[in-house]
Amino acid sequence: MEREHFDIFISGGGLAGLIATCAFAAKGFSVLCVDPTPPVTNNADPLADRRSTAFLQPARTTLEAAGIWPRLDAHAEALQIMRLADAGGVENEIRYVADFDASDVSDLPFGWNFPNWLLRRELMAQIETLTNASFRAGVGTKRVLTRNAQALVTLSDGTAIGADLIIAADGRNSPIRDMAGIGAQTWRYGQKGMVFTVSHPIPHENVSTEIHRTGGPFTLVPLPDHEGTPQSAIVWMETGSEAARLMALSDVEFATEASARSCNVLGPLTLTSKRAAWPIISQKADRLTAERTALIAEAAHVMPPIGAQGLNMSLADIQTLLDLSLDHPLGSESMLKAYEMARKADVSIRLQGVDLLNRASLGSGPNLRALRLKGLQFLHGSVTARKFAMRAGLGV
């Protein structure tokens, strides 16, 4: 059977796979990306991804070089202030507020927020303009055989592909990771993250607010106005049983509970989207590479949605591979070894940091709550610690 050859084969057309497709094509590589599920690019579709993504400063540099940023610019909502609030145990009452202002460490905002369905729409539009990259929906990766010289991939429709480098962007249950025999450690929290968008009478003024309380954080992230009214994306983390109770409520009852849980910081909330609930886990692949193969994004690391780390780390994976492709033969042992070295420590440190923050927020004991408050007061009160935390969160 005739075999098609590409410089890079990308398994998985989630946000990470689609961004990687544009980024490597912009560098002149030939790229094929496949996904059994076509991306949903319309907000009205019941299957649309209700999450939003806050791209932090370093991500913008990668998106600009990939030619994607000009498509996103008009839809960007800036995040100027990260506000961390502590609401103690089960009361909806804020007892401490810490503002982290991007102007303390940079001339730019921390980042820019976008609905995920819109990102998919713009990424697909960009891929359609590329002559050296293509995306095939409805087919998946079925078999992989790697050789020193190249990787051989069989797709679910029987097509045979050859590639110098395979990028596994096929999610937390990555088939490529399994085929490469790479294990993964998983931590479960018994928690769900409910995602939806809301309008509210009080403008968000480009402040992203994370309210910590037993059960997990409730985060309001600025979005552009909805029909002339201020709008935010919400991630509301709760224990599985509480999330199930809340998801069973009517929209009006749910909005009333969400308003109370938000401590009414933006006034009463009105739903502007459907709701979805995501299981919250942390996961780390035992290795980031195999012969001719690099794991990126959720195939390599999954973490709770705190501090907008998830997809931003995935962009750091992509940027690292792009940089290494300049100095090493594509997909070579030296390139993959350098990728493992470059990303391993950052992935571990960020996973541990976010895990700790989530456990501190989830916990209900009075000692843990007191410790959480003291930690926040220290981080905010010391100028050195505050600036260090902001730079570390940004990944600069």
Residue range at the interface with ligand FAD (CB under 6 A); choices 30-38, 120-128, 204-212, 381-389: 30-38
Interaction between residue 211 and ligand FAD (CB under 6 A): no
SS3 265: coil
Cα–Cα distance, 15 to 299 (Å, whole number): 12
Give the nearest distance from C-beta 53 to ligand FAD in angstroms: 4
- Kindly list the distances between the CA atom of residue 260 and the CA atoms of 80, 251, 263, 392, in Å, as whole numbers in the listed order: 25, 14, 5, 32
Interaction between residue 77 and ligand FAD (CB under 6 A): no
Answer whether 357's CB lies under 8 Å from 307's CB: yes
Question: DSSP secondary structure string, 161-228?
Answer: EEEEEEEE---TT-HHHHHTT--EEEEEEEEEEEEEEEE-SS--TTEEEEEE-TT--EEEEEEEEETT
Residue range at the interface with ligand FAD (CB under 6 A); choices 247-255, 307-315, 326-334, 388-396: 307-315
> Which CB atom, from 280 or from 369, has the smaller least distance to ligand FAD?
280
Give the nearest distance from C-beta 14 to ligand FAD in angstroms: 2
What's the start-to-end Cα distance of the chain, in Å?
48
Give the nearest distance from C-beta 384 to ligand FAD in angstroms: 26
- Draw the binding track, 133-162, toward ligand FAD (x: CB under 6 A; -: no contact): -------xx---------------------
Binding test (CB under 6 A) with ligand FAD, winner from 26, 182, 308, 321: 308
Binding test (CB under 6 A) with ligand FAD, winner from 6, 11, 220, 362: 11
Cα–Cα distance, 8 to 179 (Å, whole number): 18
For 11, the token pair is 């398994």
Question: Of 229-258, which residues contact ligand FAD (CB under 6 A)?
Answer: 235
Which residue reads 């440190």 in tokens? 349
Interaction between residue 376 and ligand FAD (CB under 6 A): no
Residue range at the interface with ligand FAD (CB under 6 A); choices 29-37, 71-79, 202-210, 317-325: 29-37
> Which CB atom, from 197 or from 369, has the smaller least distance to ligand FAD?
197
Answer whether 308's CB lies under 8 Å from 112's CB: no
> Which CB atom, from 51 or from 369, has the smaller least distance to ligand FAD?
51
SS3 277: strand
- Kindly list the distances between the CA atom of residue 124 and the CA atoms of 133, 303, 311, in Å, as whole numbers in the listed order: 11, 26, 18
Binding test (CB under 6 A) with ligand FAD, winner from 8, 16, 362, 394: 16
Cα–Cα distance, 168 to 262 (Å, whole number): 38
Q: Buried (b) or exposed (e) across 298-329, using 16+ Cβ within 10 A?
A: bbbbbbbbbbbbbbbbbbbbbbbbbebbeebe
Interaction between residue 61 and ligand FAD (CB under 6 A): no
Interaction between residue 282 and ligand FAD (CB under 6 A): no
Binding test (CB under 6 A) with ligand FAD, winner from 150, 278, 319, 347: 278
Binding test (CB under 6 A) with ligand FAD, winner from 109, 115, 305, 331: 305
Q: Which of 290, 303, 317, 291 is nearest to 358 (CA)?
A: 303
Give the nearest distance from C-beta 312 to ligand FAD in angstroms: 4
Binding test (CB under 6 A) with ligand FAD, winner from 314, 320, 325, 361: 314
Interaction between residue 269 and ligand FAD (CB under 6 A): no
Binding test (CB under 6 A) with ligand FAD, winner from 86, 122, 238, 298: 298
Cα–Cα distance, 387 to 385 (Å, whole number): 6
Binding test (CB under 6 A) with ligand FAD, winner from 175, 215, 222, 393: 175
Binding site for ligand FAD (CB under 6 A): 11-17, 34-37, 51-54, 140-141, 169-171, 175, 193, 195, 235, 278, 297-298, 305, 308, 310-312, 314
